[in-house]
Amino acid sequence: MLVTKHTLAASSPHATPYYIVRGMMPGPVMFITSGVHGNETASMAAAQKLANDCMAGRRHVVRGLLIIVPRVNQKAYRNNRRGKPDLNRTFPRHISGKAKHPLASAVFQLASQHGPDWWLDLHEANGLSQRSSRVLGQTLITNPGSRAVPVCRRVIARMNRSIAIRDRHFNLKQHELPGSARTAAARLLHSRSVTVETCWSLKRSVRIRYQTEIVHHFLREAGLF
Nearer to Zn ion, 29 or 171 (CB): 171
Contacts for 21 with CB less than 8 Å, ≥ 6 apart: 1, 2, 3, 51, 54, 61, 65, 66, 67, 68
Provide the strand spans (E) within 23-77.
Answer: 25-34, 63-69
Nearer to Zn ion, 123 or 187 (CB): 123
In angstroms, give the least distance from the CB of 223 to Zn ion: 27
Min CB(121)–Zn ion separation in Å:
8
Minimum CB–partner distance for residue 182 and Zn ion (Å): 11
Q: Which of 139, 140, 124 is nearest to 38 (CA)?
A: 124
Residue with the shortest CB distance to Zn ion: 123
Residue 125 near residue 136, CB atoms below 8 Å: yes
Nearer to Zn ion, 37 or 71 (CB): 37
**Smallest distance from Zn ion to CB 28, Å:** 25
53, with CB counted inside 10 A (0-12, 13-18, 19+), is middle
Minimum CB separation of residue 109 from Zn ion in Å reads: 21
Closer CB to Zn ion, 200 or 225, in the complex: 200
Strands (E), 70-212: 118-125, 139-142, 171-174, 192-199
Binding site for Zn ion (CB under 5 A): 37, 40, 123
Q: Which is nearer to Zn ion, 63 or 100 (CB)?
A: 100
- Given a contact cutoff of 8 angstroms between Cβ atoms, the answer to whether 220 and 62 are in contact is no
